[in-house]
Structure 1
C-alpha cells in the first residue's frame, strides 16, 4: 500500500499499462497534470483544443494498437472531447477519456463548470463512470481499460470529483488490466463456411475495421493466398494488406473503382469480416452481389444481421476466425483456382495501366487524382496515410490512385467523418510511429478546422506533411448544390480565407503553394526532405473542384 492521491494512482496505472501519452490541456493545474509532472514514462501532449486531443488519441490508438488517452477539464473541456469520442465510438477504437467533475462538496449547487458529464458520455462510450471513493480509482481504471480493449473495442470515460481527486489515501498496488480477450468461432459454423467455399467459384473477402483491431494482417494474407481469394476493404479495413499485393482488389461502396466493382459484382460468395457494411460501404445497401451467398464474421453479436441478413453468421474474433477457417479449408483440400487468378491478374494489370494514364492529367487547376498519385510516388513505402473525407481529397480513397504499400499504415475517420480529425490525428499517428512518414490528405475546409494544431506538431517534434486540396470551398455540399439543387449555391464558398503557407510558416512549418502540375512532385520532395530534417510541412495545392471519380457520382444517384 502506498499513500497517493487518485491522480497519482491514475498516472501509476497509465505507466503500468504502457500508455505513453495524455493528449489534452490543463484547466486547474492541480488536476492530473501535477501528478504527470513526476512521471518518467507518461508524457503530456499540450494541444490547442480538447477536441484535437481526442482526435490524436484515436489516431494514436489506430496506429499503435495501444489505448489512446485524452483529458478534458470540467464542463466545456469535457464537452469539447465529444466529437473525438463520438468518432472513436463509431470506429470501435479504444480511447480512454479522463475528466474532472465539480467537487462532491458543491456538486448540484451551481458549482463552477458544473455539468452532468456522464449523461453526455454514456451514449457514445462503452462505459462512463464517476469514481466516488479515492481508493477505488485503480479498480475503475483497470475496468475501463479492460472494457475498452476486449470484445468490440471502444472508448470509455472516467472522471474524478475535483476534491476527492486530491485526497491522499492508502492505495493498493495497481494491477494492469486483462486485455484483448478474444472469442474463438463455433467449429460447426467454420465447417459450414468451408462447405460454402467448396461450392463457390468466385469467393470474395471484404475486411472492415474489426480486422485491423484484431491485428489480423497475417491471417488475412494467409487466407487469401492459400485459397486464391481476392481481398477488398472498407475505409476502416484499409491497411489490412499491402495494396500492391496481387490479390488486393480495392475498396467497396462509395470508394470503389472499375476493377474492384467488377470483382465485387461477380462474387458468388461474399465473406465480410469485422464490418457492419454501413451506408457508404454498401452503396446505401444496394451494392450486394446478385445471387451471392453471404457469410458475416464479427466479434460483436449485435452486428450480426444488423444490415444484410447472412446465410451464415459467425461470432468470433477476426484473426482467430480466419485462422480457423484457413486451416479447415486446407484440411478439406481447397486450392486456388488458377484460371481465376490469371484472369484477376490480367484485369488488375489493366486497371493499374489505366490509372497511370488517367493520373497523368496535366490540366490546370491540378486534378485531385494527380495529387494522390504524386504523394504515393514521392513518399512511397513506410508512409502512414491519414485521411479526411472531402470531395477532392476523396481521391486518396480510390485505389489504385493511392496504394497503401505497408500493412497498418492508414488512419481513416470513422463513419462520423468529423472534419479536422485527420488534420489533428496525423500528429497522434506520428507519435505512435516516429519511424514512418505521415501524410495527411485534407480539403481546405477540414484543414481550417484543425490547422491550429500546426504548432503542436512543431512543439512535439512530430514532422507530418499535410497536403491541402484547396478549392476555396466546401466542395462536397457545393457539388450537391450544383448537381441536385439546380445551382442554388449558398454558404459553401470561401470568399475570404487563410493564406495557408503564411500560417504554416508562422507556426514553424515548411510550406509551399502549388498551382501547376509540374510543380507538384518537386514540392512534395521538398516537404519530405523537411520531414527528414524534423520539420512539419504543408503543401497547399490549388485543385480542380469539378472532377470526381465516376463511382462518386454513381453512389449519389442512390441517395
Structure 2
C-alpha cells in the first residue's frame, strides 16, 4: 500500500520549502488545515475579516519582499477578499491566496455557498487556477509561487475544491522552491535610451513602487553621475534615501509647489518601475509638454501609452547598471544649482509654516510629522492611509524617509483601512518599529481585527487622526458650498473620542494640543518598546489640509492655474 498524506500536508510542506513562516486568514468550516499545522512551525494569524486578512498579508509581503500567504473559505469568504486583492494587484504585493471551492461533484447543483470564484478573482490576480486533481496540486503551488514573485510581483489565486481535499497525496513529493529571475532590456533598447540620456543637461529620474524589490544604491549613483533630480511615486518612496542631495520629493499630485520648476525645466524624464497612474502624472500635460519620456518596466501592461518616448522591457536596476558603465557628460552645474535652490525654497517654506503653526491653537499634522521624525527611530516602517489629514505625510519635505526606513501606502485604489490592517502584517514581518498614520474612518473600518493584534500580541503604534469622520468628503462638500445638514460626513460626537478596547497589552493615549504632543509621542515609543499595542488619538482640525489639496474637484484637486483663478 502506497503511503500518502493529506492535500493540506502537501501544501504546508511546499510552503515550508518556500520559506513561508506565517499564514494569514480565516479557514473554512472543515478546519482540515489545522491538523497539518502543528508540526510545520508556521504561525497562522487567524483574522476576523477576510478583507483585513489580505491587507495584512500584503503588508507582510511589502515589508519582506517575499511571498505571503492568505487562506480563506469559499463563497462569501472569498468575495470578502476582493478589495484586498485589488490593492495587492495595484501595489505589486507578492501574495498567494488559497481558497476552498465547491467540489467538482456538486458544481451547478446550487450547492451551499457555491460561486464562480475563478470569475470573481481573475481580473484581480496574475493567475487563477482551480486544482481538479491531486496530481496537479504541487505543480499548481510551484507555478503560483513562481508567478507571484517574478515579473511584476502580484497576487495569485489557487482554488481547492472540497472533494479534492479528501483525497490522498503520495508522500514521495519533491518540492521546487520558487526562483527569482531577472532580465535586462535589450541592447537596442538601452542604446536608444542612452542616445537621449547622454546628451541631456537637465535629467530627472522617477522611481516607482516596482523598484522596491531591489537593493543597493545604483539609482543614487546613476543620479549623481548625471546630475539627475530624483523623485518617487507615492508607492516608490523609501527606495531612495530621501536625505540624498538630489532627492526632490513625490511626483505629480504630491509635488511641493517649490519643486514644480524642476519638472517644467527637465529635458528628459526616466521612469523606473512605475505604471504612471494618475496621481503620479498629475499636471504632466502642462509640465512635460515636449519632454521625452523613457519608461523601464518588467511587464508590458505596465507601460503608459499616453506619453510619447522610449519603452524598455526589463528590470530597472539592470538598465541602470548598464548605463552606469557608460560615461556621458559631466553634470550640468546650472541644473544642480536649480535643484538645490528649489529644495532650499521648499525646506524654507516648511520651516516658515511650522513656525506659523506654533502660534495657532491645537495640534497640526505637519507638527506631528516633525515630532515623529525627531522622536521615533529612523529605520521605522510607516504605513499610511490616503485620507484628508494623513495625506500630509505624502508631501516631502514634511516627512522624509531616511536610509533604512520603509514607506507602505495604499495603491492608487486607496482602499480605506488598508494601512491600518497592513500594519499588523508588517509588524509580524519585521523587528523594526511599525507606525501607522491613519484617519479615524480608516481605523474604525479596521477595528474588527483590533482583537487580532491583541490575541497575537502584535505591537504597532497607531496615530489616529480624528477629524470626526470622513474628512475628504466633508472638505469637498465645504469647497462646493453644499449644505451638509442632510449629509453629515463628520460630526462633533465622533470627535469626543474613539472607543479603544481596554486590555493590558493596549496603551491608549491622546493628543489634543501641541504642548502635550511630544511628551505623548515619547510615552508611545516607550510603551511600544515594552511590546505594547499603542493607540494615540490625535484630534485633528478639518481645515488642517495641505495647500495642494485645498482646492478639491472630485477625486483630484484643481490644477494650480485653475485654483489660482478661484
State the TM-score bracket (shorter-chain normalisation): over 0.9
- Show CA shifts across 1:531-555 (max 9, x none): 1110011110111111322222465
Q: Which one is further off, 456-465 or 494-503? A: 494-503
Q: Contact between 1:368 and 1:544, CA under 8 Å: does it hold in 2?
A: no
Query: Which secondary structure state, in structure 1, belongs to the residue aligned with residue 524 of structure 2?
Result: helix
Deviation at 1:232, TM superposition (A): 0.2
Partner of 2:474 in structure 1? 478
Q: Contact between 1:23 and 1:53, CA under 8 Å: does it hold in 2?
A: yes
Unaligned runs of 5+ in 1: none
- Distance (whole Å) between structure 1 residues aligned to residue 352 and residue 289 of structure 2: 32
1:486-497 aligned within 5 A = 486-488=482-484, 490-494=487-491, 496-497=493-494
- Distance (whole Å) between structure 2 residues aligned to residue 184 and residue 430 of structure 1: 34
- Show CA shifts across 1:519-541 (max 9, x none): 11111111111111100111101
- Distance (whole Å) between structure 2 residues aligned to residue 65 and residue 20 of structure 1: 14
Q: Contact between 1:252 and 1:261, CA under 8 Å: does it hold in 2?
A: no
Q: Contact between 1:2 and 1:173, CA under 8 Å: does it hold in 2?
A: no
Q: Contact between 1:458 and 1:535, CA under 8 Å: does it hold in 2?
A: no
Deviation at 1:32, TM superposition (A): 2.1
Q: Which one is further off, 527-536 or 344-353? A: 344-353
Deviation at 1:217, TM superposition (A): 4.3
- Distance (whole Å) between structure 1 residues aligned to residue 250 and residue 89 of structure 2: 22
Q: Is structure 2 residue 263 aligned with structure 1 residue 267?
A: no
Question: How many aligned positions are there?
Answer: 552
Deviation at 1:2, TM superposition (A): 5.8
Partner of 2:279 in structure 1? 280
CA 1:461–1:356: 2 relative to 1, 3 Å: farther
Partner of 1:43 in structure 2? 43
- Distance (whole Å) between structure 2 residues aligned to residue 21 and residue 223 of structure 1: 37
- Distance (whole Å) between structure 2 residues aligned to residue 5 and residue 61 of structure 1: 27
Q: Is structure 2 residue 197 aligned with structure 1 residue 197?
A: yes
Q: Contact between 1:47 and 1:456, CA under 8 Å: does it hold in 2?
A: yes
Q: Contact between 1:217 and 1:407, CA under 8 Å: does it hold in 2?
A: no
- Show CA shifts across 1:50-78 (max 9, x none): 11110011111111010111111111111
Q: Is structure 2 residue 24 aligned with structure 1 residue 15?
A: no
Partner of 2:335 in structure 1? 340
Query: Which secondary structure state, in structure 1, belongs to the residue aligned with residue 322 of structure 2?
Result: helix
Q: Is structure 2 residue 463 aligned with structure 1 residue 467?
A: yes
Deviation at 1:5, TM superposition (A): 1.3
Q: Contact between 2:203 and 2:227, CA under 8 Å: does it hold in 1?
A: no
- Show CA shifts across 1:207-231 (max 9, x none): 1111113x15422122112222121
Deviation at 1:303, TM superposition (A): 2.6
Deviation at 1:323, TM superposition (A): 1.1
- Distance (whole Å) between structure 2 residues aligned to residue 398 and residue 364 of structure 1: 23
Deviation at 1:461, TM superposition (A): 2.9
Give the TM-score, by structure 1 length: 0.94
Deviation at 1:454, TM superposition (A): 2.5
Q: Which one is further off, 171-180 or 497-506? A: 497-506
Query: Which secondary structure state, in structure 2, belongs to the residue aligned with residue 112 of structure 1?
Result: coil
Query: Which secondary structure state, in structure 1, belongs to the residue aligned with residue 500 of structure 2?
Result: helix
Query: Which secondary structure state, in structure 2, belongs to the residue aligned with residue 142 of structure 1?
Result: helix
Query: Which secondary structure state, in structure 2, belongs to the residue aligned with residue 282 of structure 1?
Result: coil
Q: Is structure 2 residue 513 aligned with structure 1 residue 513?
A: no
Deviation at 1:161, TM superposition (A): 1.1
Unaligned runs of 5+ in 2: none
Partner of 1:365 in structure 2? 362
- Distance (whole Å) between structure 1 residues aligned to residue 354 and residue 287 of structure 2: 29
Q: Which one is further off, 22-31 or 135-144? A: 22-31
Partner of 1:326 in structure 2? 324
Partner of 1:454 in structure 2? 450
Query: Which secondary structure state, in structure 2, belongs to the residue aligned with residue 551 of structure 1?
Result: coil
- Distance (whole Å) between structure 2 residues aligned to residue 18 and residue 499 of structure 1: 46
- Distance (whole Å) between structure 2 residues aligned to residue 19 and residue 77 of structure 1: 23
Q: Is structure 2 residue 427 aligned with structure 1 residue 430?
A: yes
Give the TM-score, by structure 2 length: 0.93
Partner of 2:123 in structure 1? 123
- Distance (whole Å) between structure 1 residues aligned to residue 504 and residue 439 of structure 2: 19
Deviation at 1:235, TM superposition (A): 0.7
Partner of 1:547 in structure 2? 544
